[in-house]
Amino acid sequence: MIRKFKIDELETVMKIWLKTNIAAHDFITENYWLGNYDLVKKILLDATVFVYEEDNAILGFVGLTENYIAGIFIDENSQSEGIGKALIDYVKKSYSELSLQVYKKNPHAVKFYLRFNFVVSNEQTDENTGETEFVMNWTK
């Protein structure tokens, strides 16, 4: 089931955020993610967040600011089970266009978004990490 995030689920969502980022971005130091933990926690409170829940457990979530996907994060034990697809399909129903940024060195994520008809519109450097990222867009 996909539904809106509840404030008392913040810690659970943040654990998924941290573990997923550390695992998916081995080219960025773990300290970067730890250092941004509190900021992201605060940002999530103002974002639109949808969680994927199964058997009363949150297995993943998508966070948006307007039509910008700040990220899709899936619990490490639940990846490649269609949860990311379900979240993408869910937000595509509510928006006519979406955008996001993804690190070039994360080919699994780039391939994921390309599979769902996102297109690379720009390549830029993330000022915070110095890493190259793709700006990707989807239009209904």
Q: Which pLDDT value is given to residue 78?
A: 82
Q: Is the pLDDT of residue 79 over 90?
A: no
Return phi, psi of residue 67, to 5°: -105, 15
Reported in sequence order, the residue ranges of the chain that DSSP labels E, i.e. its strands, are 2-4, 48-54, 57-65, 68-74, 97-103, 119-125, 132-139
Return phi, psi of residue 60, to 5°: 180, 170
Q: Is the pLDDT of residue 137 over 90?
A: yes
Residue matched to tokens 């809106």: 4
Return phi, psi of residue 55, to 5°: 50, 45
Split at pLDDT 50, 70, 90, the class of 81 is confident
Q: Are 63 and 71 in contact (CB under 8 A)?
A: yes
Domain interval for residue 30: 2-139
Q: Which pLDDT value is given to residue 76?
A: 85
Task: Give me the mean pLDDT over the 54-74 stretch.
Answer: 94
Split at pLDDT 50, 70, 90, the class of 80 is confident
Going by C-beta distance under 8 Å and a sequence separation of 6 or more, which residues neighbour residue 116?
85, 88, 92, 138
Number of domains in the chain: 1
Task: Give me the mean pLDDT over the 28-45 stretch.
Answer: 93
We report the CATH number of the domain holding residue 39 as 3.40.630.30
Return phi, psi of residue 117, to 5°: 70, 25
Q: Which pLDDT value is given to residue 114?
A: 96
pTM of full prediction above 0.85: yes
Q: Is the pLDDT of residue 77 over 90?
A: no
What's the mean per-residue pLDDT of the chain?
Answer: 94
Angle, CA 40 vertex, CA 92 and CA 97 arms, to 5° = 20
